[in-house]
Amino acid sequence: MKNTMIETLKAIITPYLKGVSELSLNDHIVDNLGIDSLDLVDILVEIETQFAVSLEEEEINQLAYVKDIIALLEQKTKADEVCENS
């Protein structure tokens, strides 16, 4: 599941990369990838759509690195699985 999540996230982010050919989990979203706030909004909307999750403002404000997005998505999708199985 995690590899699929990473590949989907890479597919979402890659079109927005500025001067970077490879995406790493340790990349800082703004500093390393050059993603501006407008692009980030587009990326987050696409993430919500692709992963069927809702991201809260306080969660979004804590996202600095690509790995932070993965961790949040893992948390969100795991929470959804628990709710569905209850």
Residue extents of the structural domains in the chain: 2-85
- Predicted confidence at residue 80, as pLDDT, reads 57
Q: What is the pTM of this model?
A: 0.85
- The mean pLDDT of 54-61, rounded to a whole number, is 94
Given 3-state DSSP classes, what are the helix, strand and coil percentages for the chain, each rounded to the nearest 5?
A: 65, 0, 35
pLDDT tens digits, 13-55: 999 998 788 889 999 999 999 999 999 999 999 999 999 999 9
Cα separation, 71 vs 9, whole angstroms: 12
What is the reported pLDDT for 81? 57
User: Which CATH number applies to 2-85: 3.60.20.30, 1.10.1200.10, 3.90.1150.10, 2.40.50.140?
Assistant: 1.10.1200.10
Say what the pLDDT of residue 52 is: 94
